[in-house]
Amino acid sequence: MGGRDLYAGLIKLHVLHHAAREPVYGLAMIEELGRHGYRLSPGTLYPILHGLEAQGYLASTKKRAGSVERRFYRATKAGRAALAAAKLKVRELFGELFEDEPGRPSRR
């Protein structure tokens, strides 16, 4: 996928979006992001999760299911606030990106 660096912020927003709805774990996020066309390895996603946690946007807990222990991430209050602010910016950008598309009324 070309322009991978351009998608890094979108991937973080996807993670925050899902973690604000319910606790998520790495493999499930890799699969979810794959449904949106992002092809991520654990070596790419886990640093993103750890970075969002270090920034205070996610908090994690370990849970065991049989012999498997998973680290679940959920959005913190700061993460939900950052997501809300980002949604406003994304909505504005979306409008600008598509304002000159055929069949779309101009905002000018």
pLDDT per residue over 19-47, tens digit each?
999 999 999 999 999 999 999 999 999 99
72 part of a folded domain? yes
106 part of a folded domain? no
49 part of a folded domain? yes
104 part of a folded domain? no
Identify any residues that bridge with 58 across adjacent strands, giving them in sequence order. Answer: 75
19 part of a folded domain? yes
The contacts of residue 7 (CB under 8 Å, 6+ apart) are 1, 38
- Residue 71's domain comprises 4-97
Scanning the structure block, which residue is given the tokens 């949604």? 87
Distance CA 47, CA 69 (A): 18
Query: Mind listing the pLDDT tens digit for each residue in 47-100?
Result: 999 999 999 999 999 998 788 899 999 999 999 999 999 999 999 988 888 887
103 part of a folded domain? no
* pTM score, whole prediction: 0.82
Neighbouring CB atoms inside 10 A of 16's CB total 24
Structure tokens at 9: 């912020």
What's the CATH code of the domain at 39? 1.10.10.10
The contacts of residue 19 (CB under 8 Å, 6+ apart) are 58, 73, 74, 75, 79
> Furthest-apart CA pair in the chain: how many Å?
59
The contacts of residue 81 (CB under 8 Å, 6+ apart) are none
26 part of a folded domain? yes
67 part of a folded domain? yes
Q: Are 25 and 71 in contact (CB under 8 A)?
A: yes
Domain count, the chain: 1
